[in-house]
Structure 1
Amino acid sequence: MSDAYRAAGVDIDAGNEAVERMKAHVARTRRPGVLGELGGFGGLFALPTGYQEPVLVSATDGVGTKLKVAFALNQHSTIGIDCVAMCVNDLVVQGAQPLFFLDYLATGKLEPKQAEQIVKGIADGCVEAGCALVGGETAEMPGMYTNGEYDVAGFAVGIVERKQVLDGSQIKPGDVLIGLASNGLHSNGFSLARKVLLEDRGFTYAEPVPASNQLLGEALLTPTRIYVKTFLALQEQFQIKGGAHITGGGLVENLPRILPTGCAAEVREGAWEVSPIFQWIQHIGKISFEDMVRTFNMGIGMVLVVPVEEADEVCRAAEELGERATRIGQVVAGQQSQFAWAKRR
């Protein structure tokens, strides 16, 4: 390799080693439609047959400052799951089955073992979501990132029959909101959580989370839940009218995005158990309820909108699929941007 390029901070040999380490993880994600092998200039994927009017759905996202926790704990094997989850959960709420995923990994100095762990997590997420990892980019950029630190982002593509696209147009007042429990913070609100717990109060990652069996580091690094297989299975059995992935902005900002004109969301405060980590952050930081629900998912990672007559069956089916499902509210007449909290009845 070029000694001059290495002296400038870029190690081509390390890049080649990283790719070799990644290949076995990428191979685990292979599914029908994948053409070619890793290493081409682009990932090739043949569209599935059997669709009358196939629509491609795309989504892209990153992991945000959750990466700071991974750096501090030197644990990198789950951060890739977060990257995949943030993309594929956005696809599935529109009724789309994820097909393939690409990643972008940028670092100041490429460490092949670390890169392998990151891609292992990405592959784990792809396997869980049923999509293929068809390619990616690893960029070594000395001077842009501190050694040992990196950024990772992803891009996913899914497919759905045009007439089955979930655009919220069938939602009406009286429909029920079903909440699927989150794994914790998922990948949002970490700037506030880290400020409150680590910077302001000086807690360490070894601090026990009250009313929980987790240490702070474990709680913060728990990967984002992937709801793809549950959502698609429920969609086959029931009339799912809409879905909202609860990310930045929480329930308050994300639920209105799926509602048609003339509809608003009414969520019952106290309808589900708020995860201990959120209660602790709110207590330690003396954060208002309004700020909490606009920053964190508060224990609900996804919301389904279903007809009232199917609500109980949807909850039971979701539980059988391994989710914790709860009726958290309903759709009411009102302005789309409105969001109301109602006392639990």
Structure 2
Amino acid sequence: MDKPLTYSDAGVDIDKADALVNDIKDIARKTRVPGVMGEIGGFGGLFSLNVANMESPVLVSSTDGVGTKLKIAFMMDKHDTVGIDLVAMCVNDVAVQGAKPLFFLDYLATGRIRDEQVKQIVAGVGQGCQEARCALIGGETAEMPGFYADNEYDLAGFAVGIVDNSKIVDGSEIQVGDQLVGVAASGLHSNGFSLVRKICFDRLKLDVHTHVPALGRTLGEELLTPTRIYSETIQSLLRGLPIRGLAHITGGGIVNNTLRIIPRSCGLRLRRGSWEIPPIFGFLQEAGGVAEKEMMRVFNNGIGLVAVVPETAVQDVLARLSATKEKAFVIGEIVEHKGSDDERCRWE
């Protein structure tokens, strides 16, 4: 008679997953903020809203993943930064609408749970939540044998924030003459990695451990630089400054993401050379022979956040950003637009 089968025989180790929960609880405790109820391990995460100081509270939510940047983590066998990317991609989208992030949940799916790998990933998520000052209140670690390549995984997340209805930043007050203040990115962030891998590994035949003189470090170290989290910077800007619009620069680049928040009657005038472009972008453009237009719609090119502000407030905004240790540049302005959608951005 054949031996009775168990879930473990099929590749799913329930005991290992249960043991990991305790480690994840320790990480989650470090991210606690007022409002968190209970601990990770229940059927759902509980959060008590304090809306005493709000006339009409609105919840803002966002979900995202890390994308093929994960492939770099697999190559490096380094997993402690992709969780920061995950939090950043979600909370930045929440924050640009004026909301303060409240809590975060993650979803990790893998073919086989590797304890150290999972701990590194969740530690990164915890670090990201601490930077964003939001709580990690739940998540899911799914072991799915036969579904993922060995030692690979996928990672997704979900953030919820809150803002008073009267303080939502929606771009509706943007007008001609307003200035575009760009806040520096930390690097590639988490967009365009399919093209990055095509250039670096297919065309140049590089290895993640290759030292690239133009970058001053190994290729893998550069590519795994985590996405900058702007939520606290944005909350600082919103305290007493007239911020008319905010755009998180992700896939689509500076142009497409900024156009999402401005009125249809307006366009953009961007100034070439008005901000510092990190070396990684020039390296990729030259090695891949990538046209400027393609670079600008795939990558952030050194700007991770754009604030639209009245011209009279520019210096105050720059000073506030400097006080929060952010590099910032005036990169353009809002102009009148009466042509086609394809002509809504001009470069000078």
Give the TM-score, by structure 2 length: 0.96
Aligned counterparts, 1:65-104, within 5 A? 65-104=68-107
Write the distance in 1 (CA, Å) between the matches of 2:46 and 2:293.
46
Match of 1:26 among 11, 14, 28: 28
Match of residue 45 from structure 2 = 43
Match of 1:127 among 119, 125, 130: 130
Q: Any idea what SS the aligned residue of 1:65 has?
A: helix
Name the stretch that deviates more: 259-268 or 302-311. Answer: 259-268
Q: Any idea what SS the aligned residue of 1:243 has?
A: strand
Match of residue 7 from structure 2 = 5
Name the stretch that deviates more: 61-70 or 204-213. Answer: 204-213
Match of residue 207 from structure 1 = 210
Pairing 1:248–2:247 present? no
Match of residue 136 from structure 1 = 139
Aligned in 2, Cα 1:136/1:154: closer, same or farther, shift over 3 Å? same
Pairing 1:176–2:179 present? yes
What amino acid sits opposite 1:125 in the alignment?
G
Identity of aligned residues (%): 52
Match of residue 117 from structure 1 = 120
Match of residue 323 from structure 1 = 326
Q: Deviations over 1:224-262 (max 9, x none)?
A: 000111111011031111100000010121111000121
CA-CA distance at 1:38 after TM superposition: 1.1
CA-CA distance at 1:3 after TM superposition: 5.5
Match of residue 230 from structure 2 = 227
Match of 1:310 among 304, 309, 313: 313
Write the distance in 2 (CA, Å) between the matches of 1:216 and 1:54.
45
Q: Any idea what SS the aligned residue of 1:258 has?
A: coil
The answer as to whether partners of 1:210 and 1:276 remain within 8 angstroms in 2 is no
Q: Deviations over 1:153-210 (max 9, x none)?
A: 0000000000111111000000000000001110000000111011111011123334
CA-CA distance at 1:4 after TM superposition: 1.3
Q: Any idea what SS the aligned residue of 1:91 has?
A: helix
Name the stretch that deviates more: 207-216 or 104-113. Answer: 207-216
Write the distance in 1 (CA, Å) between the matches of 2:36 and 2:24.
17
Q: Any idea what SS the aligned residue of 1:269 has?
A: coil
What amino acid sits opposite 2:217 in the alignment?
Q
Match of 1:291 among 289, 294, 298: 294
Aligned in 2, Cα 1:72/1:29: closer, same or farther, shift over 3 Å? same
Write the distance in 1 (CA, Å) between the matches of 2:28 and 2:197.
32
After superposition, the CA RMSD in angstroms is: 1.3
Match of residue 263 from structure 1 = 266
Name the stretch that deviates more: 107-116 or 203-212. Answer: 203-212
The answer as to whether partners of 2:266 and 2:337 remain within 8 angstroms in 1 is yes
Match of 1:16 among 15, 18, 37: 18
Pairing 1:151–2:154 present? yes
Write the distance in 2 (CA, Å) between the matches of 1:59 and 1:238.
25
| Unpaired segments ≥5 residues, structure 1 | none
CA-CA distance at 1:143 after TM superposition: 0.8
Match of residue 57 from structure 1 = 60
The answer as to whether partners of 1:209 and 1:276 remain within 8 angstroms in 2 is no
Match of residue 278 from structure 2 = 275
The answer as to whether partners of 1:21 and 1:112 remain within 8 angstroms in 2 is no
Name the stretch that deviates more: 78-87 or 194-203. Answer: 194-203
Write the distance in 1 (CA, Å) between the matches of 2:121 and 2:5.
27
The answer as to whether partners of 1:179 and 1:325 remain within 8 angstroms in 2 is yes
The answer as to whether partners of 2:63 and 2:158 remain within 8 angstroms in 1 is yes
The answer as to whether partners of 1:18 and 1:113 remain within 8 angstroms in 2 is no
CA-CA distance at 1:318 after TM superposition: 0.3
Write the distance in 1 (CA, Å) between the matches of 2:108 and 2:136.
14
Write the distance in 2 (CA, Å) between the matches of 1:129 and 1:51.
21
Q: Deviations over 1:125-173 (max 9, x none)?
A: 0000010000001100011101211001000000000011111100000
CA-CA distance at 1:111 after TM superposition: 1.1
The answer as to whether partners of 2:25 and 2:39 remain within 8 angstroms in 1 is no
Match of 2:345 among 317, 333, 340: 340
Write the distance in 1 (CA, Å) between the matches of 2:137 and 2:5.
31
Q: How many residue pairs end up in the alignment?
A: 342
CA-CA distance at 1:119 after TM superposition: 0.6
The answer as to whether partners of 2:214 and 2:283 remain within 8 angstroms in 1 is no
Match of 1:196 among 196, 199, 217: 199
| Unpaired segments ≥5 residues, structure 2 | none
What amino acid sits opposite 2:44 in the alignment?
G
Match of residue 166 from structure 1 = 169
What amino acid sits opposite 2:101 in the alignment?
P
